[in-house]
Amino acid sequence: MTDEDRVVIICAVAAGNPNPAEGSVTTHCADCGVQVWLAPTGQGIVMEHGASPLCIGCGTKSIEESDDAETQPIWDAQRIEVLRALRRSRLDPR
Ligand SMILES: [Zn+2]
């Protein structure tokens, strides 16, 4: 697989983000190694498509350095994960 057809998923950095989507696990950014959250939908994308988790900084850099990066809109399932996490963080701020 070349860099051109690499599938990535951009993840929130774990440090400073104590309220991830329910069912999230930590993993490491494939480029810089920082610990990131991988939500259940992201775990599925990694399993099914061999996606590499990237932190927001490395994901942004990857897109900027590519001539033909394709991005996908957020899925409904991802939107629900985010909204639930936001609600939980409001109810139980840490
Ligand atoms: Zn990174």
For residue range 2-27, list pLDDT tens digits in order.
Answer: 555 889 999 999 999 888 999 999 99
- pLDDT over 80 (residue 51): yes
CA dist., res. 31 & res. 36, Å (int): 12
| Surrounding residues of ion ligand 1, Cβ less than 5 A | 29, 31-32, 55, 58
- pLDDT over 90 (residue 36): yes
* Residue boundaries of the structural domains of the chain: 3-91
Say what the pTM is: 0.81
Which pLDDT does position 26 carry in this prediction?
A: 97
Which pLDDT does position 73 carry in this prediction?
A: 86
CA dist., res. 24 & res. 39, Å (int): 4
Question: Mean per-residue pLDDT for 43-60?
Answer: 95
Residue 93 CA, ligand 1 centroid: distance in Å: 26
What does the angle CA 25 – CA 37 – CA 94 come to, to the nearest 5 degrees? 95
Helix, strand, coil percent values for the chain (each to nearest 5): 40, 20, 40
Which pLDDT does position 9 carry in this prediction?
A: 94
Residue 88 CA, ligand 1 centroid: distance in Å: 26
How many CB atoms within 10 Å of residue 1?
8
- Exposure of 67 in the CB half-sphere (CA atoms within 13 A): 1
